[in-house]
Structure 1
Amino acid sequence: MWEKQLEIFDAIVAKCPDFALKGKSMIYTSANGHMFGLLNKAGEIGFRYSKEVQEKYIQEFNSDYYKSYGATMKGYVLIPENMLTDLDRLADLLNESYAYVMSLEPK
């Protein structure tokens, strides 16, 4: 299950030329000193947005807040299973997340 989700996450990121996957056991994307895409040990994918966009997407995707290692990750939306086949849409969403972290103060 986890390896399949890693393949999907990798395929999404491959469509995004401005960043790459990072990490070995905890897989993530980051830019400007901020993480914005995560794959947790349960094989769930989460993208980070502003509070307003997060709430909008939780409603639109019929999803929830993203959790990793038992903790709710602030600003992250759980990408539901039923969306994982539309890699182009997910790449657009991840690029939107990237744009959001690039708007933040660098760490």
Structure 2
Amino acid sequence: MDKDKLEIYDALVAKCERFERKGKTMPYTSANGYMFSLFNKANEIGIRFSKEVQKKYIKEFNTTAYKSYGAVMQGYILIPESMWKDEKIAVKLLNESYDYVMSLPPK
């Protein structure tokens, strides 16, 4: 795991006051019983959205579905590394994802 990239993920999550990063070997965020962001061993960030929002963002950000350990993570999109430095957008996406999982029935 690339420590510099993990620090970026941690810094983005730290900017969000309503949740915190969890996991030691697999960093993630979760709320309401749902994981909604993940930093995988390939040093990629995935964020979860509704199907409609996924389609919109995949097109808008020219990205793809998110994979972790070779499997497609249903509901997640890959956040391109080029977007990580735009803190405002990345934090907005994390908060939007948090709002989405909070709208789901609790697990």
Aligned to 1:74: 74
User: Equivalent residues in 2 for 1:54-73 (5 A)?
Assistant: 54-73=54-73
Please give the alpha-carbon distance, in whole angstroms, between the structure 2 residues aligned to 1:92 and 1:73.
21
Aligned to 2:52: 52
Aligned to 1:32: 32
Identity of aligned residues (%): 65
Aligned to 2:98: 98
Please give the alpha-carbon distance, in whole angstroms, between the structure 2 residues aligned to 1:89 and 1:56.
15
Please give the alpha-carbon distance, in whole angstroms, between the structure 2 residues aligned to 1:86 and 1:11.
12
What TM-score do you get using the length of structure 2 for normalisation?
Answer: 0.97
Query: Displacement, 1:76?
Result: 0.2
What TM-score do you get using the length of structure 1 for normalisation?
Answer: 0.97
Q: How many residues align?
A: 107
Aligned to 2:85: 85
Query: Displacement, 1:50?
Result: 0.2
> Deviations 1:74-106 (Å, cap 9, x if unpaired)?
000100011111112100110000000000111
AA at the equivalent of 2:100 = Y
- Which is further off, 30-39 or 4-13? 4-13
**In 2, are the aligned partners of 1:37 and 1:48 still within 8 Å (CA)?**
yes
In structure 2, the gaps of 5 or more residues are none
> Deviations 1:31-59 (Å, cap 9, x if unpaired)?
00000000000000000000000010000
Query: Secondary structure of the equivalent of 2:21?
Result: coil
Please give the alpha-carbon distance, in whole angstroms, between the structure 2 residues aligned to 1:65 and 1:32.
23
